[in-house]
Amino acid sequence: MRHLFNIKPIFLLFISILLITACTSASPTNTATSTNVSIVPSPVVTLMPTSVLQVGVWDELLKATPFPHEFPLPEPTQSPLDGTYAKVDQSPPQYWTCYRCADYRPEGGPWKLQFDKGVMRIFYQITNWKSIASFTVEDNRLKIFNDPFCPHDVGEYEWATENGNLSLKTINDSCAFDLRKENLTKQSWLACTAEGQDQPGCAETPNAPPGETPSQLSVTVNVLGGDSHYFDKPPDIFAVANKENVPSPDGIQIQYHDQSIPFGTHRVLWWNGDWIEATTDKPFTSIGVQFWGSGYLGWARVLFDDVEVWRGLTTSLGKKHAYYGGYIEITDFEPGTHTIRVENLGFDYHPVKVAAFGFSNQNVQPKTP
């Protein structure tokens, strides 16, 4: 029994060594891309790759087959329903971090659905959520079963096609607290034919927008990883993106599309509500914008006085804990009235979340170790 009591100090020592190792991990180095655009990541923020979310998810799903949870797999025979379909849900997309999101919950953005020889596959491009199940077709009746999110349930639908569009009507389906039937029947699904492969949802990952930010600008652009609120020298004044939550400071005007989405003090840019801007005539020497949010966020561009000064994937700016983003700072401009504007490029339907705009009389400085 005496030896058992000696385990605790050894265990605590082992945990301490692990914590010390984690806290002293290497930090990224600073790099410069041009004379006018510089990338200065904070040493405590991890620089992210070009894409945060995994690619090739749909291709992997095509290789998978259902598991016979409660029911035998049907014969792999062709049905009149077979084909690949897509839709774009226009409701707000998922732009927050959740560790157990509701399955099948209808969210804004592209969805893909396939029926192929007794196998149903469904994929949500924004978060890479997916599922696979078995199905059978008899006349205009569709039955779905062996879904891992509801292995004991059988969903039954009426189906119909018109001009390549698939419509589903629920007869009975309680899978995922009724979310599966809500998702499948919310709107029509468009066929991903050879002629329609470019329509939203048919291709897994659309190509990034063309064009590059000009390197020779009349201003200096500093690209800083992390949350500027916690920099060693943060902006002197913050104007939160959602002025309806916190009024803007005197001399700073925030404007945004009325269809942008309020999220606390932040604004989410997506679909038609795809822009936000801040204007001031105060004599600041540094003006910037803070992107900060989940790994589901997408591409944006920043304009200063109607000139594009930066564009990129906002999640690639940096990461700390479960949050992604960074601060785009503009300096070396003449006194006067200036406007900084953010636009969601929108090519892949991912949302963009703007936290705040920053204003200073000196350059901000990232946090040092």
Domain ranges across the chain:
27-52+207-360, 57-191
Q: What is the pLDDT of residue 20?
A: 39
Q: Cα–Cα distance between 88 and 187 in angstroms, integer? A: 9
Q: Which DSSP string do the residues of 223-244 spell out, in sequence order?
A: EEES-GGGSSB--SEEEES-TT
Structural contact between residues 343 and 301, judged by C-beta atoms closer than 8 angstroms? yes
Chain segment 229-244, per-residue pLDDT in tens: 999 999 999 999 999 9
Residue entry with tokens 């149903």: 120
pLDDT of 152 > 90? The answer is yes
User: Do the beta carbons of residue 153 and residue 178 sit within 8 Å?
Assistant: no
pLDDT value of position 36: 72
Taking residue 363's Cβ as centre, other Cβ atoms within 10 Å add up to 17
CA distance readout (Å), 121 to 112, 141, 241, 249, 307 = 8, 18, 39, 50, 44
Above 50 in pLDDT, residue 279? yes
The answer to whether the beta carbons of residues 226 and 318 sit under 8 Å apart is: yes
Residue 235 Cα distances to 35, 145, 219, 249, angstroms: 23, 55, 18, 13
Q: Classify 17 as helix, strand or coil.
A: helix
What's the rounded mean pLDDT across residues 115-124?
97
Question: Computed from CA positions of residues 49, 51, 57, 59, in that sequence, does the dihedral angle turn out positive or negative?
Answer: negative
Task: Select 57-191's CATH number: 2.30.110, 3.30.1760, 2.40.128, 1.10.3470.
Answer: 2.40.128
Share of the chain above pLDDT 70, in %: 83
Confidence of residue 100 (pLDDT cuts 50, 70, 90): confident
pLDDT in tens, 294-351: 999 999 999 999 999 999 999 999 998 889 999 999 999 999 999 999 999 988 899 9
Q: Is 296 exposed, middle or buried (0-12, 13-18, 19+ CB in 10 A)?
A: buried
Are 298 and 291 in contact by the 8 Å Cβ rule? The answer is no
- Asked if the model's pLDDT at residue 199 lies above 80, the reply is no
How many Cβ atoms sit within 10 Å of the Cβ of residue 141?
Answer: 12
Higher pLDDT, 331 or 7: 331
Contact between 41 and 312 under an 8 Å Cβ cutoff? The reply is no
CATH number of 27-52+207-360: 2.60.120.260
